[in-house]
Copies of this chain bind each other. A is one copy, B any other.
Amino acid sequence: MTREQLFEQILNKKSYLCIGLDTDPLKLPQHLLDLEDPVFEFNRQIIEATADLCVAYKPNIAFYEAQGPQGWVSLQKTLQVIPKEIFTIADAKRGDIGNTSELYARAFFENMDFDSVTVAPYMGADSVKPFLTQAGKWVILLALTSNAGSQDFQMLRLEDGNEEYLFEQVLRTSQEWATADQLMFVVGATQSDYVQRVRQVAPDNFLLVPGVGAQGGSLEEISRLGMNRQCGLLVNSSRAIIYASSGYDFAERAREAAFAVQREMEKLLEELL
């Protein structure tokens, strides 16, 4: 998917919502458990109920990997029911030496046709570039994550005369590998103090923003600080939407929760774009 197609979808849907399909078998509604593939059935109904309100779906791969081979089957089937115009993110945080990253790229881009993969930057250029070989396929690089551990290394200051943080160097160096047409960054909604620094180094790139909701980040704040001329934000919500109810009405309640976010985003787009 191109950047323009993504922006067009944002304008059409008046939404920059990404829904995290972090589907935990232990949290599924009881009435799904007797089905052949409860995880897929849950995802299918969530997608059907929310596809007009969001522009991206992001399965966190750990949830599927923890279920063994069956988890990968559920994931593949899930991808097949996501409408083609919606951006898909394999939240996998992969990254290995070059010839090995190629295999991960094959797994997510060819076997499963995701639009993008989240990648960890620690191993540098040759661990990231194999994900950048096809136009329309994206890397979403970890920059400043939403968790407490982001303080440990991402916020270290470098001896470069500019008092830059490591995450700023990651933003800067990685832009030598790809343009904003193939490269997004993960920036947690809990990091609003630093979003202006992110936008100084990376004005054009889309940011994938986790951490709104359960982790305490504010949609309004991150939007005011981070939005650019093409919106430039995909704000993720997982638990608050997909687990809005654990009863028969789970999909209906998920739609209501997604609709509430979409309406807030519509207002913010009108004001800020």
Per the 8 Å Cβ criterion, residues 71-120 of A in contact with B are 72-73, 76, 93-98, 100-101, 103-104, 106-107, 111, 120
Check A267 for interface membership: any CB of B closer than 8 A. no
A122: B residues at CB distance < 8 A = 120-122, 142, 145, 153-154
Size class of the contact patch on chain A: 35 or more
- Complex contacts, A68 vs chain B, CB 8 Å: 72, 76, 107, 111
Q: Which residues of B contact A142 (CB under 8 A)?
A: 122-123
Which B residues touch A107, using CB under 8 A? 62, 65-66, 68
How far does the alpha carbon of A259 sit from the alpha carbon of B252 in the complex, in Å? 63
Query: What is the total number of copies of this protein in its complex?
Result: 2
Q: In the assembled complex, how far is the CB of residue A119 from the closest CB belonging to chain B, in whole angstroms?
A: 10
Cβ-closest chain B residue relative to A22: B100
- The closest CB in chain B to the CB of A105 belongs to B66
**A120–B93 CB distance below 8 A:** yes
- Interface residue A244 (Cβ < 8 Å from any Cβ of B): no
Q: Digit string of A175-196 for contact with B (CB within 8 Å is 1, else 0)?
A: 0000000000000000000000
Q: A65-B107, A159-B159 are in contact. List 5 more A-B contacts (CB 8 A).
A: A62-B96, A65-B104, A93-B95, A93-B123, A156-B166
Residues of A within 8 A of B (CB): 22, 60, 62-63, 65-66, 68-70, 72-73, 76, 93-98, 100-101, 103-104, 106-107, 111, 120-128, 142, 145-154, 156-160, 163, 166, 169-170, 173
